[in-house]
A and B are shown apart, each in its own frame.
Chain A
């Protein structure tokens, strides 16, 4: 630390160069933070996916019937069946699309990993017109507990022709894969308020496997069971549903390549900057060595000189990226399926590691040159 002013003076000798390098590194690390953060979102999603959950939907689109719940519960290996029906509509204007999952009582027992307390689930059962709204959605619609939220729905009209007037019971946490947030309501209330012809429909079943290792088989069993019925099903395990590679393009690899290209660019920039700086101050380093600095000491100075803009730039860049991730949800309203990068500790670790690696690699050649230099020649300025 004693030599910090020395290094600082070296960097600030050419303030324009220092600032431009810093900015360039910062930009590269902003991109790095966002892309690696995106991958962190994907891995977190896949890791947190419940092994024992199977989603069942209608194979050829449309609704399923409530009667299928009892049949599913009979399939060997099924430990629980919960279901929802979606309230599709809009708030005030047609462009303000809203989707609320109207949940049956058992959803509380299966979605145990969602950040909703038992008391909150109970509120939902006790208040038939109540909804639980996730933070993102609450911010979007400017809602707080106790507020009324009116949803008009041409697809799911109320039996009496009125719009749906729902009361916000509480605000709950968001779930990674529910991008844009979610709204949970009471299935029983919703179901009984629909016109008769629209009652007893389900848009998604949540089937829980007794043995998580057999959930894929169970999905197959459910589909086999309904294969020849009027409503064939299409079942998928949560693990498979939340796997990004399922979209057909390996987004994680794309992210990695972008981050890598950015690092490559920065590597050239810092390596060049430090090489120039050392070349310009060759005589000064010779002086340092003359007054007793060891080879390693001088090399350490060079490494430090490279590391400061790298680490500082990385910190600023990743900081900017984290700030962007807090702004992004506002730019991409719900339902667009835009995953928001997550700044997990591993993102920061990778950033520190990459910044150190860039600093190290870019300083290696100039440092070696200083180690091998002949003091007398350097001092004579030849």
Chain B
């Protein structure tokens, strides 16, 4: 049986050059479909990777119950020490818990192209830097607690105007000078960083937004979480930093992902009709060959399978071309959405998805023609001109 399938397939592919342009309908149809799908997904994949990269599972973030963002969350000064003293938090060299009470706020900035946008100004507490070993100074110096000055992320510096050391940024309570440039390799690079208490004084904000802690060990999250949830004085939720960013990433990209799938699906339906068309044509063009094989004793099944295989091979070839085009055009290109800086990514996973998508279309598109090929009475097919 396998041998028969192999022979029929070989015969099909030998005749492919004669049906080159017809076959191209499948290749181009799925090439366009997969190309569009992967191009759109390169945006969301890149964004997701940038966001997910920011979450360290060894850290936990505490926000007020029900908050979806740090901006919404309110941690009062009465709540903060209770969180910081909870069990499960790693201790610094000085014996104090590695916990950072942080404040964030939106800051208007001017993009390099002159348009107006917003980024995040993050106020860090005394342990803010110790908690973030990934934060490295690139130029200048660290900000000093108590002073109205700040550092700018490498990404923010490249996106916005007036972000060099010595430049001043309008913040509440006057102009704050930039004293340093930092890199983190994650979302924070698109942000500004300063001292939390100074920022809160300047903005007349009495409350913190969130508390970030370094867990004693990976397993101590449950201890920490339980301590917070059983404390009647607290109404907060603790999440692993990585889980927090998983949610942020899916929330900020879900719309685009759905859009990509809808567009991809619509194009796939278009390609499906093309596929059906081509394979029907292929079956009718090879009617006599098929009938001859049947007359020689080949059974109907290998004939049917061969039609589907032909469709799948052409579809996968198309998908590969589409993926290659999307990859050369977009992969690795730097882009920014708001203050999220990311690289467009055509990942192996999305390429796999594209190929799977194409195979599915080819399977569906090959089914009916293959049945026709197998069912056609041998005598009729042989007589047909």
On A, residues with C-beta under 8 Å from B are 16-17, 20-21, 23-24, 27-28, 30-31, 59-61, 227-228, 232, 234, 236, 240, 243, 245-249, 254, 257-258, 261-262, 264-266, 268-269, 271-273, 275-276, 338
Contacts and interface: CB of A to CB of B under 8 A. Distances in A.
B270 interface: yes
Interface string B242-279: 00000000000001000000010011011101101110
Given A61-B106, A265-B29, A269-B29, A24 B277 contact: yes
Nearest to A275: B21
28 contacts: A17-B280, A17-B281, A20-B273, A20-B277, A21-B273, A23-B273, A24-B273, A24-B274, A27-B270, A28-B270, A59-B108, A60-B105, A60-B106, A60-B107, A245-B115, A246-B116, A248-B338, A249-B43, A261-B35, A262-B32, A264-B28, A265-B28, A265-B33, A268-B25, A268-B274, A269-B29, A269-B274, A271-B21
Contacts of B29: 265, 268-269
Contact of A264 (B32, B172, B280): B32
Nearest to B271: A265
A261 B24 contact: no
Contacts of B277: 16-17, 20-21, 24, 269, 273
Nearest to B336: A248
Nearest to B274: A269
Given A27-B270, A27-B273, A31-B263, A249 B32 contact: no
- Residue from A228, A240, A269, A338 whose CB has the most chain B CB atoms within 10 Å: A269
- Closest 7 pairs (CB-CB, A-B): A24-B273, A27-B270, A268-B28, A261-B32, A265-B32, A20-B277, A20-B273
Interface string B152-177: 00000000000000000011101000
B40 interface: yes
- Residue from A17, A60, A234, A338 whose CB has the most chain B CB atoms within 10 Å: A60
Contacts of B335: 248-249
Nearest to A246: B115
A247 B106 CA distance: 16
- Residues of A contacting B: mostly: helix
A314 to B, nearest CB: 13
- Residue from B28, B33, B39, B280 whose CB has the most chain A CB atoms within 10 Å: B28
A255 B164 CA distance: 36
A265 B270 contact: yes
B67 interface: no
Contacts of A59: 108, 170
A18 to B, nearest CB: 10
Contact of B267 (A20, A31, A61, A246): A31
Interface of B: 21-22, 24-25, 28-29, 32-33, 35-36, 39-40, 43, 105-108, 115-117, 170-172, 174, 203, 255, 263, 266-267, 269-271, 273-274, 276-278, 280-281, 335-338
A262 B267 contact: yes
Contacts of B32: 261-262, 264-265
B273 A30 contact: no
Nearest to A337: B255
A272 B43 contact: no
- Residue from A23, A24, A228, A275 whose CB has the most chain B CB atoms within 10 Å: A24
B107 to A, nearest CB: 7
- Residue from B32, B40, B263 whose CB has the most chain A CB atoms within 10 Å: B32
Nearest to B29: A265
A254 B330 CA distance: 12
A141 to B, nearest CB: 24
A240 B270 contact: no
Given A20-B280, A269-B274, 18 more contacts: A20-B277, A28-B270, A31-B263, A31-B266, A31-B270, A60-B106, A61-B105, A232-B170, A240-B116, A246-B115, A248-B117, A257-B39, A262-B32, A262-B267, A268-B28, A269-B29, A269-B273, A269-B277
A275 B24 CA distance: 13
Contacts of B270: 24, 27-28, 31, 262, 265-266
